[in-house]
Structure 1
Amino acid sequence: MDDSSQPSTVDVDKGFAITFVVLLFLFLIVMIFRCAKLVKNPYKASFITTEPSLS
């Protein structure tokens, strides 16, 4: 019998943890780019447009 033929067990908790960390890093990278764009040009990057009212 060869010992290397043992079935490899999949650790589900480790997979969830790695997936969570990867998604967290992706979210962090996206937030860094959005914040950098906001700092670079705050008026163009903002979602709320404040137009002066005529009243």
Structure 2
Amino acid sequence: MDTPNLPVARFDVDVDLGFALFFFFLLCFFLLVTIVRCAQMVLDPYSSISVSIYQEEQSEE
């Protein structure tokens, strides 16, 4: 009797597609972080300046 051939579990992994998707999602992540950072700067521009520099500019006037 012939034994039935069981389907072999093969994982066809496309390495190039994996790298492309990884770097695509990494790029999207950095883009999202940049958008959030720029939005914070637009909403409150003086929060990124240290207090000592801001006080020095105010005292010179």
Gaps of 5+ in 2: none
Mapped to 1, the partners of 2:49 and 2:20 lie a distance apart of 34
- How many residue pairs get aligned? The number is 52
Kindly name which structure, 1 or 2, has the bigger radius of gyration based on alpha carbons. Answer: 2
Q: Residue 37 of structure 1: which of 13, 35, 40 is its match? A: 40
For structure 1, the residue ranges without an aligned partner over 5 or more in a row are: none
How does 1:1-55 map onto structure 2 within 5 Å? 1-2=5-6, 4-46=7-49, 49-50=53-54, 51-52=56-57
**Are the counterparts in 2 of residues 38 and 46 from structure 1 also a CA contact under 8 Å?**
no
Moved over 4 A (4+): none
TM-score by length of 1: 0.73
Please report the TM-score for the alignment, with normalisation by the length of structure 2: 0.67
**Mapped partners of 2:49, 2:39: distance in 1:** 12
% identical equivalent positions: 42
Give the CA deviation at 1:8: 1.8
CA RMSD of aligned residues (A): 2.2
Give the whole-Å Cα distance in 2 for the aligned partners of 1:25 and 1:45: 24
